[in-house]
Structure 1
C-alpha cells in the first residue's frame, strides 16, 4: 500500500533545522499514515519548542493531528514574545555559562548546570521546577518531559542574550541577582564582607552587596563599566526595569 504524501512548507526562521530539500518553499513528504504531525516535523529536524502555529489546509491543528494524504501543511515559527504558562524562569545547559551570567546580571532567574548532568536530569529538573530549558542541543529539546524549551540559535553571548530577551520579554531587574549562583542580593556593610575584599578595595569602595545564598560579595570594581554596558544595552532595547528595589547589586 502506498504511503500517503503530504505537502509541507516551513517558516524561514525554521530553515536552519532543515535539509536543503525542505527549505525551498513547498516540499512533498511521505508519511506512514499513523504518525502525528508533531512526529513528522521533528523527524525532519525541527524541535517542537521552535514551532508556533500548525495549519492543515489553512486550518489550525495540534501537533497530535494525523495528516491525511494530500494535505497542505504550514509550519510557523514561535510568535514573539512567547507567552509562558508560568513565571519566566530558566535552566541552561553546560554550554551556556556566559549566557546564564548575563541573564542573572539583568535580574533574571537562570539556573545553570555545570558540570553536565545529562539530558535526562536536565529534562527532569525543567519539569520539576517549571523552568524553560535553554540549549543548543536539538535532541535535548525533543525530550517530552521538559516543561518548556527554547533553542539558542547563536554561538555569540551577546546575540544569545538578545534572542532570549526578544523571545520571552522577561521583566528586567538589573543588579539584583548573584551572577555566580543565581541567589538574590542584599546590601551589605563593609565589615560583613571584609574577608572577601582585595588589597585596596576596602579603602576605595564603601557600597557593597552580598548574595543571600552563597555569600559572594559585590562592589563597583574594575569590570563595572563593561557590565553596565551590557545592562544599558538590554534596557535600551527591551524596556526599562521595574521601580528600584532596596537591594542593589554591584560588579
Structure 2
C-alpha cells in the first residue's frame, strides 16, 4: 500500500465485519486528507451504526474527523444500553425480520415492519420520516446516509435477535398491548363486537376479547397462548398475561 496511511484497530465486538486478515491487530488504511474517519471505517466494512467511541492517537474524535497520516485509530462498539435521543424509541424492520417484528410487538414495542421488499432507499427514507431505528442484517442498507438511526441484527435466530435488541436498546415493554399483525394498539372488546371473526367453538369457549383499533383483528386466549406467554414471561416477567388470537 503506497501513500499516506493510518493504523486502525477494531474492538473484538466488531470483528464480525472485518475480514479475517485484519483481526490479528491493527490494519493499515489509506487516507487522502479529505475523507472522514467515518468513511474510512465504513470502507473497511464496519457500519457506523455499530461504532461507539473513536479515538485517534488516544484522544476521542467524531466520525467527521479527517485523519492525518500516521495516526493510530481505535474503533469501539456502541455502549449498551444504547440511547437514541430526540424521539420515542421506535423500530422499523426490513422484510427478512418478520418473526422478530411479531415478538417485539407482542412485548408492546412500537415496531413497523415491511412484509415486502420496498428497496433500500424507501426503507431509509421511512426511517428518517418516522424517526425509527432501522433494524437489518443488510450492511449496505445500514450505511445509507439518509437513515435516521440503525442497528445491525447479529443473529439469524429469532430468540437471539430478540435478546440482542432488548439488551442493546432496553425499550419499555408493555406486553399484550399491540397487534402482532399491524402494530396497532389493542383495546378491550365484547364478544358481539368481534363475533364475525369467531368460529362456533371459540364463541362457546371464550368470553374475554381484545381488538386492534387499527386493523380490527380480534384477539383471545387461543391455542398458542401458552407459547406466547412463555416469551412474555422470559423478557417481561412482570407482564400480565392477556389475549392472543
Same fold (TM over 0.5): yes
C-alpha distance in structure 2 between counterparts of 1:194 and 1:119, whole Å: 41
* Counterpart contact for 2:187–2:210, Cα < 8 Å: yes
Asked if 2 retains the 8 angstrom alpha-carbon contact of 1:136 and 1:151, the reply is yes
Equivalent residues in 2 for 1:207-218 (5 A)?
207-218=208-219
Aligned-partner Cα distance in 2 for 1:63–1:41: 9
Deviations 1:173-218 (A, max 9, x none): 0000000000000000001101111230111111000000000000
TM-score by length of 1: 0.94
Partner of 1:69: 69
What corresponds to 1:166 in structure 2? 167
Task: Specify the alignment match of 1:125 in structure 2.
Answer: 126
Tell whether the 8 Å contact from 2:51 to 2:77 is kept in structure 1 after alignment.
Answer: yes
Write the distance in 1 (CA, Å) between the matches of 2:94 and 2:200.
35
Structure 2 Cα separation of the partners of residues 230 and 169 of structure 1: 16
Residue 99 of structure 2 contacts residue 158 of structure 2 at CA under 8 Å; is this kept in 1?
A: yes
CA distance in 1, matches of 2:66, 2:54: 12
TM-score, normalisation: structure 2: 0.96
Deviations 1:16-54 (A, max 9, x none): 011112211222222223211000100011000000010
1:46 maps to 2:46: yes
The unaligned stretches of length 5 or more in structure 2 are: none
Structure 1 contact 185–249 (Cα < 8 Å) conserved? no
Show the counterpart of 1:31: 31
Question: CA offset at residue 249 of structure 1?
Answer: 4.1
Q: Is 1:174–1:249's contact at 8 Å kept on the other side of the alignment?
A: no
Alignment-derived partner of residue 3 in structure 1 = 3
Output the aligned Cα RMSD: 1.4
Q: Which residue number corresponds to residue 187 of structure 2? A: 186
CA contact (8 A) 2:179 2:185 kept: yes
**How many Å separate the matches in 2 of 1:14 and 1:199?**
54
Q: Which runs of 5+ in 1 are unaligned?
A: none
Q: Is the 8 A contact 2:107 2:236 kept in 1?
A: no
After superposition, where does 1:216-231 map in structure 2 within 5 Å?
216-231=217-232
Q: How many residues align?
A: 243
